[in-house]
Amino acid sequence: MSQQNSGDKNTEAATMDPGQDSGRTNDSGTPAGMAPERLLDAYGRWFEVVRAGSEELRREVYRIRYHVLAVEHPYLDPDDYPDDQEFDEFDAHSVHSLLVHKPTGALAGTVRVVLPFHGREPRRLPIEDHCHDPIARDPTRFPVHRVGEVSRFSVSKTFRRRLTDTLYPDALDDRIGQVPDTNEARRGA
């Protein structure tokens, strides 16, 4: 270990040869003497957010939403979507994004932002179709010309679980439900 001077505070900076393995770990499972990876860094290593600006990418958005909202969950009736795409009247006035798994290129999920309705007749937000609380319909609290809505957040079940989860028996990975290997990169719950 080496000492570094940081202003008025002395802080210990752990240094370890990348090839060195002390065999010891701290409470987070990180090798002793190494700082745990920041969540944002881990996310950036595994995922990328891409704007679905083309019609082709928006079809992928609608396909993922259908699969998550109508097939994986009983939220929507699959029979109402014969083309296997879930979309509604708000999608034309929304910005859509896809979550891409970097190592495989697989599309892991999607989300949309329904934009404020500038210079148009006042319209409603999607939440008003599902939330009947008068507060959600109060234009002084949620003025549709200044407020947008994040909705249709959908993540494929393949990316909603850890290797130790057993909720989805038809998952593609045959390691699901097994005790994690001691070298497992994912952390247990």
Residue 189 in any domain: the answer is: no
Measured CA to CA, the distance from residue 45 to residue 37 in angstroms comes to 11
Residue 65 in any domain: the answer is: yes
Predicted confidence at residue 11, as pLDDT, reads 36
- What residue numbers bound the domain in which 45 lies? 36-120+147-159
Residue 76 in any domain: the answer is: yes
- Residue 173, burial from CB neighbour count under 10 angstroms (0-12, 13-18, 19+): exposed
Residue 109 in any domain: the answer is: yes
Residue 48 in any domain: the answer is: yes
Other CB atoms within a 10 A radius of the CB of residue 40 amount to 8
CATH of residue 107's domain is: 3.40.630.30
The H or E element spanning position 9 is strand 9-13
pLDDT tens digit at each of 189 positions of the chain: 434 444 443 333 333 344 444 455 555 555 666 777 788 888 899 999 999 999 999 999 999 999 999 999 888 999 999 999 999 999 999 999 999 999 999 999 999 999 988 766 657 888 888 888 888 888 888 888 888 999 999 999 888 876 665 555 554 555 544 555 555 454 333
Question: 109 vs 173, 174, 176, 178, 181, CA distance in Å?
Answer: 18, 22, 20, 25, 27
Percentages helix, strand, coil for the chain (3-state, rounded to 5) are 25, 20, 55
Instruction: Please give the tally of structural domains in the chain.
Output: 1
CA atoms within 13 A of residue 17's CA, in its CB half-sphere? 4
Residue 31 in any domain: the answer is: no
Residue 90 in any domain: the answer is: yes
Predicted confidence at residue 17, as pLDDT, reads 41
pTM (two decimals)? 0.66
